[in-house]
Structures are given as C-alpha cells and as structure tokens.
Amino acid sequence: MVERSPYLKLFSHLIMVLGVIIVGFPLYLAFVASTHTAQDIVQAPMPLLPGSNFWQTYHDTLFGGGSGAGSTAPVARMMWVSFVTAIVITVGKISISLLSAFAIVYFRFPFKGICFWLIFITLMLPVEVRIGPTYQVVSNLGMLNSYAGLTVPLIASATATFLFRQFFLTVPDELVEAARVDGAGPMRFFKDILVPLSRTSIAALFVIQFIYGWNQYLWPLLVTTSEDMYPVVIGIKRMIAGGDTGNEWNIVMATALLAMLPPALVVVFMQRWFVKGLVDTEK
C-alpha cells in the first residue's frame, strides 16, 4: 500500500479550494449585485456584501417592472418557455433515438446499414450548414414564434441514436430468444426489456439533453421575435441591449442566477444516475 504524503494531500486540498473560489466568487458577486439597486452597483467600489433590495429585485425580475433600456419582459415567462423547450427537446430526442436504434439493431429492411451511416454522417455537418435551410422550412410552415418552431427542428439526435445502438448491440441474444419463446412481440420486447435495461443511459442522456435544450441561443435568436416566446438565454441578451449605462444590472444578475437554477437542480438530483449511465451498463 502506498501512503500519500501529507504535503501532497494538503496541496491537493488547496488546489480544490482554489478551484471552488475561482468558480464560486463570480457567482457570489452576481448574487451580491442582485441584492442591491442598480445605482449601488455602478458605484466604485462595488459593494461586496449583500444588500437589502433582494425581494424587490427578484419580484421585478420574475414578474416584470424593470425600467432598463433592454428587455423588461417577466423572467418567469422566459423560464417557462425555456423549461418547455428543454423538456420537449429532451423527451423527443430520447424517444426518437430509442426507437430508431431499436429498428436499426433488431429489424431487417433494405439499406439498413446505409440508413445508419446517413444518420451518423449528420454529426459531421456543423449547425451553421443546416440552420439556413431549416429556418426557411420553419418559416414556410408558419412555425416562427411558437413552441413547435423552437423544438421540432432540434428533437432528432444522431449522437443519442448511435449510443443506444451501441448499447443494444451488447444485449445478449438469449434475451431476444427468450422473449420470442414467451410470445412477446417486438414492441413488448422493446418496452419491457430494452427500455428498463437502458434506464441509466436514458438518465445520462436526459441530463445532457436538458442542459442542451435549456442553453439554446442561436436557434431561438432566429425563430423568436416576440417577447412572449423568448427563452431566458435570449432574455438576458435583450436585457443588456442598452449598453453599460442603460441597464439595470441587478435585474440582469438576478436573471442570470435564476437561469442557472434548473440545469443545476437537474444535475444535482440526477447526479448518481448520470455518473452511472456514463460508466456502467445494466444487464
């Protein structure tokens, strides 16, 4: 057994503490800024202790009431749009990827291999290549400023399809034969055997895809022009449109902190499943 040097242990702990400070201090400053008035924040030096304007700032942030040069739309509405968008994208990606991987692995049909490689090749196409034609289609279908326009173009995932395919290939053939002997049809085999076996992979992908959907910026920037359909990431950008002197930075900082909460909560509550899905399989 190799004993670790106490100095090495102390050094590693100092590095971790330093990392926490580097990550946490900007968040602390954002929180402090959100508890002061806009006038207090622009003073030099900036206050480093929380102020007394916490409730008023977060009330104005969530329900509107700011007077800055940028967007003053209620952030509660923006967070709802972001939440619906993230959930639909996540559930859509996982559902479609499960079914497509199931079909590729367990069904025989002409050009099956070509179909898989066509799906896989889409990973090589950058978003910028596809975004123009996709916007044209969405615009022609009248889906601008709608949940459908925000979500439908983003619910297909070649990455998730590939990951589920690779997992399904590791499922023993004996399970397929046993299900066949028991009289289970394809969808029952899928629902009762494959989906339960895939739950850790589904959990890991849920975390990844939820954060992906929540943090969408470029696509919502193109397809939303109404404040009622702004996701919170776009809302933050609109809030700072007035420049350094025309914004209520306490509202902006409060919005940024609120925007971090849902992804952080998803990671915290699903951390065990997320890690297990990345390093383990259930068979």
**CA 89-91-94 angle, 5° bins:** 100
pLDDT, one tens digit per residue, over 79-120 is 999 999 999 999 999 999 999 999 988 888 888 888 888 888
Would the pLDDT of 283 be above 80? no
pLDDT, one tens digit per residue, over 225-269 is 888 899 999 988 888 876 555 678 888 899 999 999 999 999 999
For residue 50 the two structure tokens come to 């929380």
Alpha carbon 225 to its chain's center:
22
For residue 55 the two structure tokens come to 């409730």
Would the pLDDT of 2 be above 80? no
Q: Answer whether 172's CB lies under 8 Å from 282's CB.
A: no
Q: Answer whether 231's CB lies under 8 Å from 149's CB.
A: no
What pTM was computed for the model?
0.86
